[in-house]
């Protein structure tokens, strides 16, 4: 069974641009969560989706948004990029609702660099 895939793996953008990251969960998984990992702030929860509905959202500005499609694939978008958005963005999928209660399987992440 294929694991969680994230595309692209690496991305370089400039300030003010926007970016879209993609996550394909493990087949049959319906919950997708997104996390931001930086050296300074560590791992921070962004949002969680289940059956195309956002269930939870972390403390991030409105520039960070996401969505989930009917096939459970998810995208996250960051608009008006800032230097501080440079990070590793991790996606995790799980089978059932309330993703964090179920084992989450993480993808390798997308490394975003903002210049």
Partner 1 sequence: AQSVTQPDIHITVSEGASLELRCNYSYGATPYLFWYVQSPGQGLQLLLKYFSGDTLVQGIKGFEAEFKRSQSSFNLRKPSVHWSDAAEYFCAVYGDDKIIFGKGTRLHILP
| Minimum CB–partner distance for residue 5 and partner 1 (Å) | 11
Q: Give SS3 for 107.
A: coil
| Minimum CB–partner distance for residue 108 and partner 1 (Å) | 5
Q: Which residues make up the interface to partner 1 (CB under 8 A)?
A: 4, 42-45, 55-56, 58, 90, 92, 100-101, 103-104, 106-109
DSSP structure string for 15-26: TT--EEEEEEPP
| Minimum CB–partner distance for residue 110 and partner 1 (Å) | 11
Q: Based on CB atoms, which residue is closest to partner 1, 65 or 102?
A: 102
Closest of 16, 31, 19 to residue 72, by C-alpha: 31
Contact between residue 94 and residue 104 where contact means Cβ atoms under 8 Å apart: yes
- Tokens 């992440």 belong to 109
Closest of 77, 61, 81 to residue 15, by C-alpha: 81
- Look up residue 84 and give its DSSP letter: G
Q: Based on CB atoms, which residue is closest to partner 1, 19 or 90?
A: 90
| Minimum CB–partner distance for residue 88 and partner 1 (Å) | 9
Q: Based on CB atoms, which residue is closest to partner 1, 19 or 92?
A: 92
């Amino acid at each position: 069974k294929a694991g969680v895939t994230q595309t692209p793996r690496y991305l370089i953008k400039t300030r003010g641009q926007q970016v879209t990251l993609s996550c394909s969960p493990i087949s049959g998984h319906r919950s997708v969560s997104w996390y931001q990992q930086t050296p300074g702030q560590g791992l921070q929860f962004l949002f969680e989706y289940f059956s195309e509905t956002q269930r939870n959202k972390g403390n991030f500005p409105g520039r960070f948004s996401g969505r989930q499609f009917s096939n459970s694939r998810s995208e996250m978008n960051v608009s008006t990029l800032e230097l501080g958005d440079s990070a590793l963005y991790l996606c995790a999928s799980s089978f059932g609702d309330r993703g964090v209660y179920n084992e989450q399987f993480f993808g390798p992440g997308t490394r975003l660099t903002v210049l």
